[in-house]
């Protein structure tokens, strides 16, 4: 069995074993992640770095729920670059990597949870 790209340990610990809750959180991620990424992309387009940072911060916490540490770290980098207005030219590259990684996770979650 291949190792999963996500880790549900945290979700399972806060759910108290409620698998419906876990599945609801997964479905919420599948629906919201593309919307969140698109919001950040729109802020990048308008060069609103403060909003880039704020929305990346919010998105990083949703990545935490699924144990997506590498993607969470990318979101935190985007957050810091946006809020500090440093290396903003690199945000687009990182955001592309974050988006690709999220879509791969979404496909894996859809497959694994039949959603």
Place of tokens 């802020």: 43
For residue 54, pLDDT over 80 is answered with: yes
Q: Contact 76/7 with Cβ under 8 angstroms? A: no
Number of structural domains in the chain:
1
Tens digit of each residue's pLDDT (9 = 90 or more) over 5-37: 999 999 999 999 899 999 999 999 999 999 999
Helices (H) and strands (E) in the chain, counts: 5, 0
pTM: 0.92
Written as six digits, the tokens of 60 are 């990083």
CATH number for 92: 1.20.120
In a domain, 43, yes or no: yes
Residues spanned by the domain of 89: 9-109
pLDDT tens sequence across 55-66: 999 999 999 999
The answer to whether position 4 is within a domain reads: no
* pLDDT grade for 3, boundaries at 50, 70 and 90: confident
Q: How far is CA 27 from CA 4, 41, 48, in A?
A: 17, 22, 29
What is the average per-residue pLDDT within 81-85? 97
- The phi and psi torsions of 71 (rounded to 5 degrees) equal -70, -40
């Amino acid at each position: 069995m291949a190792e999963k790209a996500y880790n549900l340990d945290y979700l399972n610990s806060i759910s108290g074993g409620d698998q419906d809750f876990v599945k609801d959180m997964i479905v919420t991620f599948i629906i919201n992640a593309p919307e969140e990424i698109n919001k950040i992309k729109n802020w990048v387009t308008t060069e609103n770095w403060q909003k880039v940072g704020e929305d990346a911060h919010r998105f990083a916490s949703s990545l935490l729920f699924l144990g997506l540490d590498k993607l969470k770290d990318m979101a935190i980098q985007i957050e810091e670059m946006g809020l500090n207005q440093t290396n903003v030219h690199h945000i687009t590259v990182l955001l592309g990597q974050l988006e690709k990684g999220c879509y791969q996770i979404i496909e894996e979650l859809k497959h694994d949870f039949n959603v």
